[in-house]
């Protein structure tokens, strides 16, 4: 039997948390009910820092997915007809509840996904921000009138809910990356079926279900089916019911999700991987660039699609930059995220650790030099800085998704741009220069969806368009851009006067 005796920082058992249902999370959330696991298989949820069991959740079946979509389809019509202020109020109440549960959320971030306090605070604020913006969408732009080329005709463009929205979310920022779709979808009158990643079913799904339940969301509008991607993912993403399929995760998996969605005439919204470059031009403020580089590489152990994957530094600053970044890496406290002062926690699982360590070892064998870190213990990987890196080394040409900072040298701005664009990905990036016009020229030439000048790529604001190009995805999230995905424009014309036809 799974041990659920893990305790929070103030001594409470997990099943005594305010945001936990009485059954200790051992349930699906369907039609407003917590459905017991019954004879379903269970997914053990483990603390990546201690490798101890936190709890277990049921592994949903394809039949559960079918039921969830049927429930959502039935619930959507009535929900979409609710006044926009009612829908907005429920999302706003859910946002307020996240603030009330901030301490419990901080603990859950630590024990479920290895998130330190800094990351927990950051993610909770992002989730609240996206809920605030999402709630506002309910009252935004119900449509517009357009003049007609036909005499006596009036054209109306009416914005309607897309219908049922399928959502698949990852383990790295589970609460926020779920909220940024679920909150606006609900506010705009859609219903949702959510499959959180099997590593973070609580923060990625069941916690949000509990919050919206408490906020008064009608039954069936949000349904949560935790499950293994290899068991129900294809069925979930290729299902005929949803009108929109939102997926955040790897490019490899995302390609399949998108293909299945399109095959079912479902609109895909895909935010996928990245190989983000941090470009340091010869006239950069070196300390600012190093500060940004350390934050962009090592926050949440580098487990973010917009983390710095490559540091591309001018040869005149290269040695100083490497030394400064290595010094920062060596000073970062590593340990259990529940311990005060910890800035680097564990990576999520053994598979992720093995991939990162494999990239490191192969890159060193090919000529890279470890300037700081390089070791690992359990799921803890030391913040690592590598010099002598070339673009074809595994740590540079792959999305390593770990606390690793490969540093590549360049001679000219044109060479830097060539290095940056030498990847199938195009999500985010950053450029440092004291000449903003020069930095802007480089930023304009970078084939990415987002670039940040004199900062680092780890930026997301709920009211600003977020997304990439190439293998980094399709579409944009946040504010009016996600509203375009989560609603359908219908053209209604009214012929006010008799029309003359040619026959």
Per DSSP, the residues of 7-64 read: B-TTS-BGGGSTTS-TTTT-EEEETTEEEE-TTS-EEEEE-TTT--EEEEEE---HHH
371 is catalytic: no
Q: What span, in angstroms and rounded, lies between the C-alpha atoms of 429 and 296?
A: 10
Hey, CA dihedral for 367, 277, 299, 196, is it positive or negative? negative
Coil, strand or helix: which one is 75?
Answer: helix
Q: From residue 491, how far is each of 44, 158, 494 by CA, in Å?
A: 49, 6, 10
DSSP lists the bridge partners of residue 27 as 36
First to last CA, the chain: 78
Coil, strand or helix: which one is 193?
Answer: strand
Hey, CA dihedral for 205, 173, 188, 489, is it positive or negative? negative
Give me the helices (H) in 83-225, please: 84-100, 102-113, 117-137, 174-187, 207-215
Cβ neighbour number for residue 219 with a 10 Å cutoff: 14
Coil, strand or helix: which one is 126?
Answer: helix
Q: Indicate which residue of 198, 271, 371, 399 is catalytic.
A: 271
Hey, CA dihedral for 240, 241, 247, 250, is it positive or negative? negative
Q: From residue 261, how far is each of 240, 255, 258 by CA, in Å?
A: 8, 10, 5
- CA 148 to chain CA centroid, Å, is 42
Inter-residue contact 15 to 108 (CB < 8 Å): no
HEC readout, 297-345: HHHHHHCCCCCEEEEEEECCCHHHHHHHHHHHHHHCCECCCCCCCCCEC
Active site positions, annotated: 271
């Amino acid at each position: 039997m799974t041990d659920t005796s893990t305790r929070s920082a103030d001594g409470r058992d997990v099943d005594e948390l305010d945001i936990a249902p009485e059954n200790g999370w051992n349930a699906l959330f369907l039609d407003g009910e917590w459905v017991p696991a019954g004879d379903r298989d269970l997914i053990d949820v483990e603390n990546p820092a201690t490798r101890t069991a936190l709890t277990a959740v049921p592994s949903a079946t394809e039949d559960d997915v079918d039921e969830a979509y049927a429930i959502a389809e039935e619930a959507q019509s009535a929900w979409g007809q609710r006044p926009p202020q009612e829908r907005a109020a429920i999302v706003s109440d859910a946002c307020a509840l996240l603030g009330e549960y901030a301490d419990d959320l901080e603990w859950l971030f630590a024990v479920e996904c290895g998130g330190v306090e800094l990351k927990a605070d950051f993610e909770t604020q992002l989730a609240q921000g996206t809920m605030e913006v999402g709630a506002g969408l309910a009252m935004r732009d119900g449509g517009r009138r357009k003049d007609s080329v036909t005499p006596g005709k009036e054209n109306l463009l009416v914005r309607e809910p897309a219908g049922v929205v399928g959502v698949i979310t990852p383990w790295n920022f589970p609460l926020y990356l779920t909220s940024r779709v679920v909150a606006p979808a609900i506010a705009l009158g859609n219903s949702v079926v959510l499959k959180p990643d099997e590593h973070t079913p609580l923060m990625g799904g069941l916690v949000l279900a509990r919050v919206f339940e408490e906020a008064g969301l009608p039954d069936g509008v949000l349904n949560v089916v935790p499950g293994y991607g290899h068991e129900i993912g294809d069925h979930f993403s290729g299902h005929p019911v949803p009108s929109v399929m939102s997926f955040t995760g790897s490019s490899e998996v995302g390609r399949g999700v998108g293909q299945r969605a399109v095959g079912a005439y479902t609109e895909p919204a895909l935010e996928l991987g990245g190989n983000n470059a941090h470009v340091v031009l010869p006239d950069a403020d070196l300390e600012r660039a190093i500060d940004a580089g350390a934050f962009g590489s090592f926050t949440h152990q580098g487990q973010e699609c917009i983390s710095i994957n490559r540091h591309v530094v001018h040869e005149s600053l290269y040695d100083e930059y490497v030394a400064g970044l290595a010094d920062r890496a060596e000073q970062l406290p590593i340990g259990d995220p529940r311990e005060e002062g910890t800035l680097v926690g564990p990576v999520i699982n053994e598979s992720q650790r093995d991939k990162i360590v494999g990239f490191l070892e192969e890159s060193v064998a090919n000529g890279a030099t470890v300037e700081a870190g390089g070791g690992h213990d359990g799921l803890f990987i030391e913040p690592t800085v590598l010099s002598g890196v070339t673009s074809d080394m595994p740590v540079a040409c792959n999305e390593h998704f770990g606390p690793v900072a490969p540093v590549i040298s360049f001679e000219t701005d044109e060479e830097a741009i060539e290095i940056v664009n030498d990847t199938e990905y195009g999500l985010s990036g950053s450029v440092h220069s004291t000449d903003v016009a020069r930095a802007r020229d480089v930023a304009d030439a970078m084939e990415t969806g987002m670039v940040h000048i004199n900062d680092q790529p780890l930026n997301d604001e709920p009211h600003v368009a977020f997304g990439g190009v190439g293998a980094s995805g399709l579409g944009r999230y946040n504010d009016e851009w996600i509203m375009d995905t989560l609603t359908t424009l219908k053209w209604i014309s009214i012929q006010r006067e008799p029309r003359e036809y040619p026959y």
